[in-house]
């Protein structure tokens, strides 16, 4: 990095010697000025040295990264014969709890890696310039029994052509989380145990440019198991970490935290702008053996990004999204399959209706609310923005929820449904 330059200017004094007049002689003037000039020069030199040291320190930090990542970056640079530069770092922890098991993203560093050996180019899309996201994770078991955890912390972003996973050749093997908690250890996380390790996600320069423009990426957090290789013995629910990659990304992550976490928000599908919201409604209705509680709703103006725009091509007048939040108390003997739940929105005093959009929800097949447990259900509706603004927004909205279904889409509430009117 180019260091700041200090331009030193000398004060040139013109002294007129007038014979027989008052004042100092040229020799006297020179003697008086010399100490003053020397003092100024010393002060400027001292200031210059101080600033240069500070900038040198900043340069070193930007090249090598924080203490968490400095040794890893040095290793990666030496191993790949490439040149590194830290582009962005974040040390604010994110935690996802799965009952008494938790995983935290403690810190991460976005590192540019250029001109590296071709032996390493395959995970970089066969390019020899790119970047690496180094992430530090801690997995903790606060239960009084062992669990099993596979740290397949896959990274993705809007428009990604593949899933990004750990590259075992970029950082020391003994520091990698999949080494400390992997197949050699049977993925065993003992009662009371805590394991910290790193994952390196590589990107070619093409994908690095994409994620820098998006500003954010996400990491999928899987659930632990209470029994070895028994994939039905899971605890809690899957989670996500949102990673900002630059200042704009940090602003995006901060603003998105105020929105319900539907797929639009979680996958950074575009920009949301809050139009109207209401929370703490807490209206409860019974659907079979399930108490459905309307907790709140959000109307947002939505502008899809370039990647997602084709999905919304039918909305020529803009898109308004309605996201409705329910709490479901499952008092039945069967599970509730979140991905199988649907609803209907009636607008314009019942003259028009819209069905919930499953593609805008983040639920997977195995996302359920077990018998006897309580969980959240989001439902999303896509509306024509112009009609919303001109016709619908001041009229009543009714959401019909049900029937209750399990993950195999089997009706478990005998066709029962309930209608909720969204309060203004």
Q: What's the average model confidence in pLDDT over 37-54?
A: 46
Which of the residue ranges 38-47, 88-97, 129-138 would you say has the lowest mean pLDDT? 38-47
Express each pLDDT in 347-404 by its tens digit. 988 889 999 999 999 998 989 999 999 999 999 999 999 999 999 999 999 999 999 9
Express each pLDDT in 145-155 by its tens digit. 999 999 999 99
Q: How confident is the model at residue 66 (pLDDT cuts 50, 70, 90)?
A: low
Q: pLDDT at position 6, please?
A: 32
Q: What's the average model confidence in pLDDT over 207-216?
A: 95
Q: pLDDT at position 65, please?
A: 47
Alpha-carbon gap, residue 13 to 35, rounded angstroms:
14
Class of domain 268-424: mainly beta
> Does residue 117 carry a pLDDT above 80?
yes
Q: pLDDT at position 38, please?
A: 45
Q: What's the average model confidence in pLDDT over 25-51?
A: 45
Q: How confident is the model at residue 59 (pLDDT cuts 50, 70, 90)?
A: very low
Which of the residue ranges 55-69, 321-335, 362-376 would you say has the lowest mean pLDDT? 55-69
Q: What's the average model confidence in pLDDT over 188-204?
A: 97
Q: pLDDT at position 36, please?
A: 44
Which of the residue ranges 51-60, 74-83, 307-316 would you say has the lowest mean pLDDT? 51-60
Fold classification of 65-257 (topology level): Immunoglobulin-like (2.60.40)
| Domain 65-257 shares a fold with domain 268-424 | yes
pLDDT > 70: percent of the chain: 84
* Domain limits, the chain: 65-257, 268-424
């Amino acid at each position: 990095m180019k260091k700041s330059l200090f331009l030193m200017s000398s004060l040139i004094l013109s002294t007129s010697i007038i014979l027989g007049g008052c004042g100092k002689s040229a020799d006297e003037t020179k003697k008086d000025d010399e100490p003053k000039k020397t003092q100024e020069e010393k002060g400027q030199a001292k200031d210059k040295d101080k600033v240069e040291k500070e900038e040198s320190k900043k340069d070193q930090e930007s090249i090598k990264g924080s203490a968490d990542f400095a040794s890893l970056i040095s290793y990666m640079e030496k191993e790949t014969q490439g040149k590194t530069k830290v582009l962005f770092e974040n040390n604010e922890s994110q935690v996802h709890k799965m009952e008494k098991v938790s995983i935290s993203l403690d810190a991460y560093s976005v590192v540019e890696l250029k001109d590296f050996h071709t032996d390493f180019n395959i995970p970089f899309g066969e390019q020899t310039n790119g970047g690496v996201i180094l992430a530090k994770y801690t997995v903790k078991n606060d239960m009084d029994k062992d669990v099993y955890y596979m740290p397949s912390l896959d990274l993705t972003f809007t428009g990604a052509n593949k899933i990004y996973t750990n590259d075992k050749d970029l950082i020391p093997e003994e520091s990698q989380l999949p080494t400390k908690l992997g197949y050699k250890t049977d993925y065993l996380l003992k009662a009371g145990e805590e394991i910290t390790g790193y994952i390196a996600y590589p990107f070619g320069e093409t994908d690095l440019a994409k994620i820098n423009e998006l500003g954010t990426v996400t990491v999928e957090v899987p659930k632990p198991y209470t029994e070895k290789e028994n994939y039905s013995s899971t605890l809690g629910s899957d989670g996500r970490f949102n990673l900002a990659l630059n200042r704009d990304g940090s602003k995006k992550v901060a603003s998105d935290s105020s929105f319900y976490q539907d797929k639009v928000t979680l996958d950074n599908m575009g920009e949301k702008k809050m139009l109207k919201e209401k929370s703490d409604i807490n209206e409860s209705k019974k659907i079979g053996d399930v108490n459905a509680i309307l907790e709140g709703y959000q109307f947002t103006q939505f502008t899809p990004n370039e990647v997602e725009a084709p999905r919304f091509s039918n909305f020529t007048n803009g898109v308004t999204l309605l996201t409705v939040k329910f709490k479901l108390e499952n008092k039945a003997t069967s599970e509730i399959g979140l991905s199988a739940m649907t609803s209907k929105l009636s607008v314009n005093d019942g003259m028009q209706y819209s069905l919930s959009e499953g593609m805008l929800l983040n639920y997977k097949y195995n996302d359920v609310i077990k018998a006897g447990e309580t969980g959240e259900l989001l439902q999303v509706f896509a509306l024509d923005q112009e009609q919303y603004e001109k016709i619908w927004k001041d009229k009543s909205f009714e959401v019909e929820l049900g029937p209750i279904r399990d993950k195999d889409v089997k009706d478990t509430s005998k066709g029962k449904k309930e209608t909720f009117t969204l309060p203004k």
